[in-house]
A and B are shown apart, each in its own frame.
Chain A
């Protein structure tokens, strides 16, 4: 006779492997003094234009580099290379998100000296669902929504907003044309993530970019001060 089935306790985090690699990355970034910012959004929210502008403008004062995740093409890396900053594409194939191990591998392949960098940006695959579960070792996670997507995106994807530290509303130069209501969007963001800083900007016209730069520069400074002590 077969013995009766029984229950054994295990308690194991399914994403533990990713978390271990992410922690290792975070320690490495901290030791090198590089402030790592990741970007998540839906496809077409203007992530790449935003990052191109960010790299171009930050480059005059800081040493910057970027990793960009995409399913198939290298178009984003080509666009970002126009900023003159070092850029590496991570092609994920069919995978809809980046994992910490991919970031680790890309850094190995590229052999960037992290000590020579002030900022590293990681652009995730355009997706508002899957990237939320994966820690990439970043210090700051930005979630982007464009005014053309509507004000209710935060309510539809509360998990990703909750996993992020800052919200950026892009393409504000189009706000009027698409009848985007700032207050509604802002309240929706605050509803799923109370206290979250929100920046409205346009990578095209440059509107609002200044405030956002000040914010990440201040955060990076805080990070470096904390890392030294």
Chain B
């Protein structure tokens, strides 16, 4: 269970960006590859924990799942795999180990709100 340390890294990274730009973060958009080694459900609950008592408290984590995409040397084309248990081309069945996508663990965007003084 390393999702908590991953979640903390995400929060840290987002906090840094927020501070630098002087904005408040409403949501963090994350690309998560099927081969990233991170379990999405665990990450969600850890994210909430990691946000506690930080400027990101109450923010959302939005995850975009990235399937494994390999390059089939036989078809000379990119192919998306439906399962990480079978690394072969879904069209021609050639075994493929050249991974093009699927290892992502990347913050791609932040949903922000400019900081304005709260009306009293």
Contact = CB atoms under 8 A, between A and B. Distances in A.
A133 B110 contact: no
Contact of A129 (B30, B37, B109): B37
A7 B109 contact: yes
B87 interface: yes
A17 B9 contact: yes
Interface stretch (A49-57, A137-145, A189-197): A189-197
A206 to B, nearest CB: 31
Interface residues of A, number: 34
Band of interface residues on B:
35 or more
Contacts of A190: 95
Interface string A1-36: 011011111111111010000000000000000000
The B interface, classified by DSSP as helix, strand, loop or mixed, is mixed
Contacts of B111: 5-7
A9 B112 CA distance: 11
B106 A11 contact: yes
A2 B113 contact: yes
Given A133-B2, A195-B95, A195-B97, A158 B109 contact: no
Interface in A176-229: 190-196
A193 B97 contact: yes
Contacts of B97: 193-196
Given A14-B10, A129-B37, A159-B37, A191 B85 contact: yes
A162 to B, nearest CB: 6
A148 interface: no
A11 B109 CA distance: 7
A133 B84 contact: no
Interface string B13-32: 10001000101001001100
Contacts of B39: 129
B1 A133 contact: no
A83 interface: no
B66 interface: no
A133 to B, nearest CB: 4
8 contacts: A2-B114, A2-B116, A5-B112, A6-B112, A10-B109, A12-B107, A162-B35, A163-B37
Given A8-B112, A196-B97, 5 more contacts: A2-B113, A13-B106, A129-B1, A129-B39, A158-B85
Interface of A: 2-3, 5-15, 17, 95-97, 129-130, 132-133, 155, 158-160, 162-163, 190-196
Q: Which 5 A-B pairs have the closest CB atoms?
A: A194-B95, A130-B2, A132-B37, A133-B37, A158-B84
